[in-house]
Amino acid sequence: MVATGERSMNKIVGSPAEAVVDVVDGSSVAIAGFGLAHRFPSSLIMALAELGSKRLTVYCNGLGQPGHPTAHLLAENHQLGRLVASFSARPGVRESEAETQIAAGELAFEVVPQGTLVERMRAGGAGLAAVYTPTAVGTPLAEGKEIRYFDGKPFVLELAITTDFAFLRGYRGDRLGNIQLRGGSRNFNVSFAKAARIAIAEVEEIVEPGEIPPDLVDIPGAFVSRVVESTYTMDTKTLPMRPNRAATSARTYNGKPALARNEIARRAALLLEGGTYVNLGAGIPNLITNYLEGRGIILHAENGILDYGSFADAEDFDPDVHDAGGWFVTTKPGTSFFESVTSFEIARSGRLSTVVLGAYQVAANGDFANWATPEMAGGGIGGAMDLAVGARGVMITMEHCDSAGRPKLVERCTYPLTAVGVVDTVVTDVALLRRVDGTFRVIEVARGFSVDEVRALTGMHVEVGPEVGVMQDAYETP
């Protein structure tokens, strides 16, 4: 009787249109996909755009790149009523239709740290009502929420999330609903599937039960209602990437060139302790990858990869192996993949020795801000809040002043805070500073710059060490 029942179960549907037909006006939909274009369930998204359902509440890491079949297509089609995401905007990406609608008050936006988003989804799928997290304490995202202390440490109460639907993107699936994911593309798929009343998985290949080995089933069929074969494959050779300024670009202060972005990264790399776990943020921190060979440093990325290697060759890469910045990377002996809940368990639990992030501002007391500026309608937190509160050390790499010449090292942050009192090291294009006994101290300056010049470019009080070194000497000296 049991075997007959198993044979009769069939969760395969014939087309993406058939899979999404009951996503009605006002539905809530969790949409997987990472970065600007990595493994979005594009076939399902396009089918929903064709269906035209309105006033949707969409949960996602970010809507993805405008002009492509990512979740942003639904914003362009004016189908969204509410967006709950870690990103509504990304630095360097042109203003999107979603941002326009948020600014006009047409689209409600709730920004949620990436780790908090997946944990709230996991809790919803587990039948829990809420979770307490240290993420966002002291920031605008904690305002109006319950704060409770455990062992003297503050935690924010975050309510669990459940959704009507989840759109997933898998590698292989069978008619029982078992889904195999691949490489770094696990990310949000697992927690989103668990939180949804109806989880729909778009897969590259549909196979018979048993063809996915039991130990390779990443999402058991109990969590999946429908499986459909993908009808759209994005060209991985032309994936839109987050634009970065050239690694060799450098600002000029007082008529003198400061360190280039790759030189900032090179100096920062030498500050990382060998044999430790490290997370590198997007932008300048990401460039540190080029200077770690032979150091025994194990890199962690929020999308769910540990101990990855260097950037992959532009013509020879695996589309499912990328870092949290979206750049394709290589694997090596010891590399492991996992989904985002596990990734943020690593991040929040103190297992990361150092997190290196960029910032718009760093304050004298160690606060920093890196997810929104006053001109943004929304913002982009990503995993920064979770990483900053969990790591044993937080290093900021950035240019000393912004493009308007304003100091980024300030007495008090005027931009929305990412985390409170966590920054212990700052590497800029003109100085290396460490926070000692609660005060930042100049340890090194860039060649050609004096301590007085650095102080004049700095918007907060800094002390000076007894011997101030030269930043370039650290990596130029044999």
Domains along the chain with CATH numbers: 7-231 (3.40.1080.10), 254-476 (3.40.1080.10)
List Cα–Cα distances, 126 to 117, 129, 196, 444, in angstroms: 14, 9, 11, 50
Higher per-residue pLDDT: 345 or 237: 345
Cα distance between residue 366 and residue 377, in whole Å: 26
pLDDT confidence tier of residue 325, bands split at 50, 70 and 90: confident
Does the pLDDT value for residue 395 go beyond 70?
yes
Amino acid at residue number 433 = L
For the chain, what is the mean pLDDT? 94
- pLDDT tens-digit series, residues 86-142: 998 765 555 689 999 999 999 999 999 999 999 999 999 999 999 999 999 999 999
pLDDT given at position 7: 60
Paired sense of beta strands 394-397 and 423-427, if any:
parallel
Average pLDDT over residues 432-455: 97
Helix (H) / strand (E) containing 50: helix 42-51
List Cα–Cα distances, 10 to 178, 210, 213, in angstroms: 11, 14, 19
Cα distance between residue 25 and residue 23, in whole Å: 7
- Residue 468 CB coordination number (10 Å): 16
277 forms beta bridges with 298
Question: How many residues comprise the chain?
Answer: 478
Q: List the one residue out of 50, 1, 7, 53 whose CA is nearest residue 27.
A: 53
Cα distance between residue 150 and residue 346, in whole Å: 20
Does the pLDDT value for residue 157 go beyond 90?
yes
pLDDT confidence tier of residue 9, bands split at 50, 70 and 90: very high
Catalytic residue list contains 302: yes
Does the pLDDT value for residue 27 go beyond 90?
yes
Cα distance between residue 32 and residue 176, in whole Å: 21
Active-site residue identified among 119, 263, 302, 399: 302
pLDDT given at position 6: 53
DSSP annotation of 14 reads S
pLDDT given at position 284: 95
Q: List the one residue out of 246, 257, 285, 233 whose CA is nearest residue 398.
A: 285
Does the pLDDT value for residue 1 go beyond 50?
no
Cα distance between residue 155 and residue 133, in whole Å: 5
Cα distance between residue 57 and residue 23, in whole Å: 11
